[in-house]
Amino acid sequence: MVIPVDHLENLGSQKTTYVTERPNSGILETFKSPFKMDQGATVDITFPEFSSLCPKTGQPDFASIVIEYCPRELCVESKSLKLYFFAWRQEGCFMEEITERIKNDLVEVLNPWWLRVQGQFNPRGATTLWPHVLWYHPEWEFKT
């Protein structure tokens, strides 16, 4: 199977544009999944250099973002995902909202069978917070 890549703008380009504000799903690029739509394949991604800002104090928050999903027709292109994460660096947002927004943006562009996002945020004020969200496609069939 040859996966078309002509539509990808960031991967392999000699000029990368780094968006440093307003993270949104428009930054994310996708490609046709090489997996069969039998709900058996998963993709696991960890981005250990995530950062954002506390919306109240402006102090930086650091995290590893862990994504797991079962593709239906599309996979997320990793360089565009990295650029999407970079866009969060100046965003003032609570950790729970960050996790939810990442989930929503990925569901919007991928429409996977299911998706899980976990924000493994570094401790602040002696408290560790790791919010995670799950999303299931309405047609997803749980198999035992």
Over residues 54-99, the pLDDT tens digits come to 999 999 999 999 999 999 999 999 999 999 999 999 999 999 999 9
Distance in angstroms (rounded) separating the CA atoms of residues 83 and 108: 17
Structure tokens at 2: 């040859």
Q: How confident is the model at residue 49 (pLDDT cuts 50, 70, 90)?
A: very high
Spatial neighbors of 2 by CB under 8 A, at least 6 apart, are: none
Cα(65)–Cα(119) distance, integer angstroms: 5
* Whole-number pLDDT of residue 22: 87
- State the pLDDT at residue 5: 67
Of 26-30, 68-72, 140-144, the poorest mean pLDDT is in 140-144
The pLDDT assigned to 124 comes to: 86
pLDDT score for 125: 84
pLDDT at 140: 85
Active-site residue numbers?
A: 54, 61
pLDDT at 15: 73
| pLDDT for the residue 17 | 73
User: pTM for the full model?
Assistant: 0.88
Answer yes or no: are the C-beta atoms of 112 and 72 closer than 8 Å.
yes
Q: Which domains, from first to last, does the chain contain? A: 25-136 (3.30.1130.10)
Q: Residue 35 and residue 18: Cα distance in Å, rounded?
A: 30
Per-residue pLDDT for 21 more than 80?
no
The token duo for 88 is 């969060």
Helix (H, G, I), strand (E, B) or coil at 1: coil
8 Å CB contact between 114 and 136 = yes
Indicate the average pLDDT of the chain: 90
User: How, if at all, do strands 60-70 and 43-53 pair?
Assistant: antiparallel
For residue 141, what pLDDT is reported?
Answer: 79
Tell me the pLDDT band of 111, cut-offs 50, 70 and 90.
Answer: very high
Q: What angle do CA 114, 63, 13 make, to 5 degrees?
A: 75
- Strands 114-121 and 60-70 turn out to be antiparallel
